[in-house]
Structure formats: structure tokens, C-alpha cells
Amino acid sequence: MPVQKSTPLMEINHISVAYQDNRSILNDIHLTINQGEFVSIIGKSGCGKSTLLNVIAGYIKPKHGKITVQGREVTKPGPDRGFVFQDLALFPWLSVLDNVSFGLRMAGVSKQEILERSKEAIRMVGLSGSENKSISDLSGGMKQRVAIARTLVTKPNILLMDEPFSALDEQTRESLQEELLRIQKETDMTVILVTHSIDEAIYLSDRVAVFDDQGGIHNMIHIGLGKPRIPEIRVSSYFNEYKKQLMQDLRYDFQIQYESEGSGI
């Protein structure tokens, strides 16, 4: 069912998650995400960013709160939410086509539909002509494209991405960022990205959620750089202003801790 632009696609309602010893991982996360939005989450390691993605995906049940997508509560994984993991988990002995189509085959989709949807997903990530190549013969960037295609083939409305480009060189990373924005425009998917890269978050996002050290949202930054994004925006004064703001936000926890220890800052 089509979602109106003005209608919130997802409501993250006061989500809290804790370890078995009751130490908090996520602390009262509340966030509304609209159809077609690109939202990035940044913060120090261990602050709960990936945990929130797993709650949205339905892999982790929160201690408190709930998540709804188009008004329906998330209680388990579903095809409406695709997940691209940091660990690509591709099958190196299979071809590109067989990797991309694997989930559809397990779901019992007809052979003709599998072929059509798999080739379309491969086209979307720019790998047409590589369908029969072995995963072991691909570069890191091409493997990442296969992982994205494997998720796109299920036609999710929400794409969850956990540091998908972190292991790539800068040139490949920027190229895939451009591809991701193109795919989002083509599909109108909502994307939620976890990243440690401030530049990546600014360039890709409509909004950036800055997590604090207690598993909460310290600040939400609206990125007003317009779309489509052009590569030259990365060196603009506007881009650097957002970068300065996010760097200050990420230092917030350190400053609070330092003050609590009587540093005199």
C-alpha cells in the first residue's frame, strides 16, 4: 500500500534495551521517520546504534516501548525491512546471481520471477554483466554491491545498513555512496544507516541522530544541503558547518565526564 509523504512511516516509541544484568544499551529512544527519508545514526562504539537497527529489524525485542511501521507493531523480521550487515555474509562458492537470488529461492518464488527480480537488483547496483562471476573473484566494492542487491531483491520499503562501507577505501566508499543515493531516489526507499563517518552521515542524510554514551539521542541534526547531492558539496562551507556541529556533539559526552571529575573545563 503506498505511503503518503506526509504520513510517518515508522514510529520508534520510547525504546529501551538492557543487558541481562540490567545495564542499559538503549535508553528511551523516541523517533519518527518518514517515507523516503535518509536518516543516519552516529556515536561512539558501544552506544547502541547497531542495537537499534536490530530492534527495528525485529531481531531484538525491546525491554520497554515499541516500534510501528505503517501502524503495525514490529514483533519479528519481515520483508518490508531489508538489512545490509557490516559482515557481508556472502557465499563465496556461488555466483553473483546465485547469491542475489538465494533468499527468493528459499522463499519458494517461481524461477521466472527469481530471474527477473535478481537481474533487476543487479542492474540497480551497477553489476549487469557480472551475473556469472564468482564472489571470490570480485573486489571489495563489488562484493558490497552484491550484498546490497541481495537485500534489494526482496523489495523492502526500509533499508537498514550497519556500517556497510567501513572496510572500503575512500574512493570506492564515495562511489558507493553515490550509488546508494541513486538507488534511494529510484526506489523511494527509507534508509537508516549506522556509521562512524561524520562526512558520510552529512553527505547521505536528511537527518543525523547523534547518540550519547547512555544509549539515548543527544541531538538530531537536519541536513539542509538539498537533493540531489553533488560531490562538490563535500568541500563547501555549508558542509563544514554541519561537520563542526557534529564534531562538537560527539565530544559532548567526553566534556560532561571530564566536568564531573572536576577538571575545571
What is the residue-level pLDDT of the chain in tens, covering all 265 positions? 444 455 789 999 999 999 887 788 999 999 999 999 999 999 998 899 999 999 999 999 999 999 999 999 999 999 999 999 888 889 999 999 999 999 899 888 999 999 999 999 999 999 999 999 999 899 999 999 999 999 999 999 999 999 999 889 999 999 999 999 999 999 999 999 999 999 999 999 999 999 998 899 999 999 999 989 999 999 999 999 999 999 999 986 555 444 444 444 3
Beta bridge partners of residue 69, listed in sequence order: 10, 72
Q: How many CB atoms lie within 10 A of CB 80?
A: 16
State whether CATH 3.30.565.10 applies to domain 1-80+160-265.
no
Of 181, 194, 124, nearest in space to 152 by CA: 124
Question: Residue 5, exposed/middle/buried by CB under 10 A (0-12, 13-18, 19+)?
Answer: exposed
Specify whether the backbone of 237 is left (phi greater than 0), alpha (psi in -120 to 50) or beta. Answer: alpha
Number of H helices, E strands in the chain: 8, 10
Q: How many CB atoms lie within 10 A of CB 158?
A: 21
Matching residue, cell 564472489: 135
Residues 6+ apart with CB under 8 A from 220: 31, 207, 208, 209, 210
194-251 tens-digit pLDDT: 999 999 999 999 999 999 988 999 999 999 999 899 999 999 999 999 999 999 999 8
Domain boundaries, the chain: 1-80+160-265, 87-155
Beta bridge partners of residue 159, listed in sequence order: 82, 191
